[in-house]
Amino acid sequence: MTVEEFFELSAGKWFSHRTSHHLAFKQAEDGKSEINIETLPADHPEVIKLCQQYEVDPSTATCGARVTWNGTMEWDEEKHEGSTVLVTVPDQDSPDEGKLLREMGYAEKAPVAGRYKIGTDGALTLTTEYETMWSEERLWFASPNLRMRVSVLKRFGGFSMASFTSEIRMGGAPAKAAEAANSVNTPSG
Amino acid sequence: MTVEEFFELSAGKWFSHRTSHHLAFKQAEDGKSEINIETLPADHPEVIKLCQQYEVDPSTATCGARVTWNGTMEWDEEKHEGSTVLVTVPDQDSPDEGKLLREMGYAEKAPVAGRYKIGTDGALTLTTEYETMWSEERLWFASPNLRMRVSVLKRFGGFSMASFTSEIRMGGAPAKAAEAANSVNTPSG
């Protein structure tokens, strides 16, 4: 799988269920949201704009996505709404890894460029370094209708959080909505 | 990493925190337990006994482990205690994968042989087929003191559950207990 194929397969509406394990407290926190992922062509105005913010030549971008979310976390019971744009800029010598530009990092409200790498097993790994934090997220498809994500967060050199997200496709391509809603069945069974 | 090295690194006492996502209900269930993992040499009497139960030549087994757990799950509030023995029997042509014998499957109370495969990324994947179920578990080390597991369970062709387990070493080799307890720091962290 290429990173472009991974983005294509991610397009659509998902029910996203995240559980964070706060390692020092041995406590879990649950969050649920609806996520909408829309792929953007490499020449889309928002892709070009983001490249320019990072001072990256827009012609080197290969794909983009707009991710919109709407949900709640258990502990603060606040509504979390937001959206971001992601853009992949492969390394010159290796199309399977490169820079990942994003409008806004999950944990900090300033633009942060991370790295992506798509493995031979089809899993996508994203790493981001912030000033005092480091995060790594692995995303993969158990089936076209079930996407999974595991992330770890390091603060000041020690792991502080591990999160797991299961995401069920709510309808649209590539599988029929009814199947996805009932039992996360896939065409391949 | 070889499967033998994976078992060695797993040896010790772990605080294990599991969250299961019941996909059809969109509900999470939390469970916490202490797990003790002890490696067994390939010529240990319990390894030989398990091979004989599966009618496998004991000289083909490469390593074994006894896993003991003691914990509670949220929904039934019962104490879950138990132990099992695991034995790896590599395929003749490939030492990185083979049969995984176990005294007792997680979900069924009869002996079930599964498959193991250690990937080039050091992750261990275990698959088990039951009569009406199929499960796959991926285990890996975020650090020598933080082990992670993700499993999916299929019933009658559809995914029914996804589980995430973070496991923090409680002491013993290879890292000092105090470090593990405080912040899951690692020597390299």
Contacting residues of A for B178, CB less than 8 Å apart = none
Q: Phi-psi category of B48—alpha, beta or left, where left has phi over 0 and alpha has psi -120 to 50?
A: alpha
Of A80 and B90, the one with more pLDDT: B90
pLDDT for B188 beyond 50: no
- Per the listing, tokens 């319990």 go with B46
For chain B, what is the mean pLDDT? Answer: 86
Read off the pLDDT of each residue in B112-116 and give the average, rounded to a whole number.
89
Which residues are CB-contacts of B90 (< 8 A; sequence separation ≥ 6)? B3, B60, B62, B96, B97, B98
| pLDDT of amino acid A189 | 35
**Which amino acid is it at B134?**
W
Give the tokens for residue B88. Answer: 């790896």
> For residues A33 and A73, what is the distance between their CA atoms, to the nearest angstrom?
9
Read off the pLDDT of each residue in A15-40 and give the average, rounded to a whole number.
94
| pLDDT of amino acid A85 | 94
- The minimum CA-CA distance between B45 and chain A, rounded to whole Å, is 37
The tens digit of pLDDT for each residue in B143-154 reads: 999 999 999 999
Which residues are CB-contacts of B44 (< 8 A; sequence separation ≥ 6)? B64
Give the tokens for residue B131. Answer: 């009569």
CA-closest candidate to residue A115, choices A95, A139, A97:
A97
How many percent of chain B have pLDDT more than 90? 71
Asked whether this complex has an ipTM greater than 0.85, the answer is: no
Angle at B168 between CA B165 and CA B170, to 5 degrees: 140
Least confident stretch, A21-35, A129-143, B71-85: B71-85
| pLDDT of amino acid B174 | 54
| pLDDT of amino acid A184 | 47
Domain regions of chain A by residue span: 3-185
Select from 2.130.10.10, 2.60.40.10, 2.40.128.20, 3.30.360.10 the CATH code of A3-185.
Answer: 2.40.128.20
| pLDDT of amino acid A175 | 46
Of the residues B14, B15, B18, B19, the best mutation for testing chain A's interface (the one with the most A CB atoms within 10 Å of its CB) is B19
Read off the pLDDT of each residue in A38-44 and give the average, rounded to a whole number.
96
pTM here? Answer: 0.85
> For residues B146 and B160, what is the distance between their CA atoms, to the nearest angstrom?
27
